[in-house]
Amino acid sequence: MLCTIVLIALPVVHGNGPKEMKNLFEIAPHMDQKGVFGSTSLEELAYHMTFNLVFTNGEYSGSTLSVIGRNPFLNEYRELAIVGGYGVFRLARGIAQLNTVIFNSTTGDAIVEYNVMILHY
Ligand SMILES: *[C@@H]1O[C@H](CO)[C@@H](O)[C@H](O)[C@H]1NC(C)=O
């Protein structure tokens, strides 16, 4: 499938995941993920993703990180590029390392851990 385009507006932290995930949810800052992804590979399942991580609470509220890259989501290790941001993260550069914690192939539901490292001024 080379032509699926999906618009996303997901809460990154929703707090009602499995009990064993409680720590991850509590550590993560509150933010939303807003953007688009589409399948971009004939050889394997991979998405092109472009989205903003929008901080909605706390110290960085109102700031964003702009993320873009290729996500072969069945691979254990994936990396997306942080190419910029707004607010405190203007001129930010970095990477987001993605780790799928839970994936249900029946429903398509997944919990993905983002480990984000950025340099900013
Ligand atoms: C996937 O979701 C379905 C529907 O909610 C559920 O019945 C099934 O047990 C889930 N599979 C796994 C591996 O969690």
More confident residue, 107 or 118: 118
* CA 108 to centroid of ligand 1, rounded, Å: 10
Q: DSSP secondary-structure letter at 58?
A: G
**Does residue 6 register a pLDDT over 80?**
no
* Distance, CA of 19 to CA of 23 (rounded, Å): 9
* CA 118 to centroid of ligand 1, rounded, Å: 35
Q: Domain containing 108: what range? A: 5-119
More confident residue, 8 or 66: 66
Under 8 Å between Cβ of 53 and 31:
yes
* CA 24 to centroid of ligand 1, rounded, Å: 21
Tally of domains within the chain: 1
Question: For the segment 60-92, what is each residue's pLDDT rounded down to a tens digit?
Answer: 888 888 999 998 888 888 999 999 999 999 999
More confident residue, 99 or 18: 99
Name the residue at shortest CA distance from atom 10 of ligand 1. 104
pLDDT of residue 81: 96
More confident residue, 61 or 57: 61
Contacts of range 10-15, beta carbons closer than 8 Å, 24 or more positions apart: 10/34, 12/53, 12/114
The predicted model gives 13-20 an average pLDDT of 48
* CA 104 to centroid of ligand 1, rounded, Å: 6
Q: What strands, in cross-sheet order, belong to the sheet with 93-103?
A: 5-11, 31-39, 47-55, 64-71, 78-86, 93-103, 110-119
**Does residue 46 register a pLDDT over 80?**
yes
Name the residue at shortest CA distance from atom 13 of ligand 1. 104
For ligand 1, which residues put their CB under 6 angstroms from it? 104, 106-107
Q: What ligand 1 atom has the least distance to the C-alpha of 106? A: 1
